[in-house]
C-alpha cells in the first residue's frame, strides 16, 4: 500500500504512527487479556454473584482486564462510593502485575522504532524521536475510547467503575505513547 507523501514526510509519519499506535494498543490489551483473564474472572466471581443476586449487571471479565491494562499505565480505577469516589490500583494486588507495567512501554518503544524505520526518520535522533512519537496518533483515540468502554455502570445510579478518564486520556493516551514511542524512534536512529 502506497502511503501519501509530502516533502517533509509528515503524511507517512502520521499514517504509520496511527497504524502503529492502534496495533500497539490492541496488542497490549490482547496480551493482558490472554495473560490475566482467568485471574480476573476468579476475582470477579464473588462480586458478580452478589450483583446477580441483587439484579445488577455482572462485571464482564474483559472490563476487569481493561482496568488492569489502564493500571499498567498508572491510571487508577475510579470506584464511586457514598462518601465520594475512591481510586484503586488492582494491578498492585495482582500476581506478577508489575510485569504489565513493563509490557506497555516495551510495546510502545518497539512501535516507535518500527514507525521511525518505516518512515525513514533516522536522519537524526531528534527526527527519529518525532517519528516514533507519532504512535500517539493511533494510541490516543483508543485509550480514550477504551477508558469509556471499560467503565461498568452501577445499576441505575449513573455511576460507573472504570479507569479515571482524565488520566486515561492524558497519561495513557498522550504521555505514554509520545514518550516511549519517541524513545523507540531515537533508539532506532542510534542503532542504525
97 within some domain: yes
Beta strands in the chain (DSSP E): 77-79, 86-88, 152-153, 160-163
Q: Are 61 and 41 in contact (CB under 8 A)?
A: yes
82 within some domain: yes
Count of domains forming the chain: 1
pLDDT digits (tens, 9 = 90+) for 30-60: 999 999 999 988 888 776 666 666 556 778 9
Confidence of residue 115 (pLDDT cuts 50, 70, 90): very high
β-strand partners of 153: 160
pLDDT digits (tens, 9 = 90+) for 55-86: 567 789 999 999 999 999 999 999 888 888 88
Q: Is the pLDDT of residue 4 over 60?
A: no
103 within some domain: yes
68 within some domain: yes
2 within some domain: no
Terminal C-alpha separation, the chain? 25
Global pTM value: 0.88
Q: Is the pLDDT of residue 5 over 50?
A: no
73 within some domain: yes
Q: Are 59 and 51 in contact (CB under 8 A)?
A: yes
Q: Are 132 and 14 in contact (CB under 8 A)?
A: no
Q: Which domain holds residue 141?
A: 18-191
109 within some domain: yes
4 within some domain: no
Amino acid at each position: 500500500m502506497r502511503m501519501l507523501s509530502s516533502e517533509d514526510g509528515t503524511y507517512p509519519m502520521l499514517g504509520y504512527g496511527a497504524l502503529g499506535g492502534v496495533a500497539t494498543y490492541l496488542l497490549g490489551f490482547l496480551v493482558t487479556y490472554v495473560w490475566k483473564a482467568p485471574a480476573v474472572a476468579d476475582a470477579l466471581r464473588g462480586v458478580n454473584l452478589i450483583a446477580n443476586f441483587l439484579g445488577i449487571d455482572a462485571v464482564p471479565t474483559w472490563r476487569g482486564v481493561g482496568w488492569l491494562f489502564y493500571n499498567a499505565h498508572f491510571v487508577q480505577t475510579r470506584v464511586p462510593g457514598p462518601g465520594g469516589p475512591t481510586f484503586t490500583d488492582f494491578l498492585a494486588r495482582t500476581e506478577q502485575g508489575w510485569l504489565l507495567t513493563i509490557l506497555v512501554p516495551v510495546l510502545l518503544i518497539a512501535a516507535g522504532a518500527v514507525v521511525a524505520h518505516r518512515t525513514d526518520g533516522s536522519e537524526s535522533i531528534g527526527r527519529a524521536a518525532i517519528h516514533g512519537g507519532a504512535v500517539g496518533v493511533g494510541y490516543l483515540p483508543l485509550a480514550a475510547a477504551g477508558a469509556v468502554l471499560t467503565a461498568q455502570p452501577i445499576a441505575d445510579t449513573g455511576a460507573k467503575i472504570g479507569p479515571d478518564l482524565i488520566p486515561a486520556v492524558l497519561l495513557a493516551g498522550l504521555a505514554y505513547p509520545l514518550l516511549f514511542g519517541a524513545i523507540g524512534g531515537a533508539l532506532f536512529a542510534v542503532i542504525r
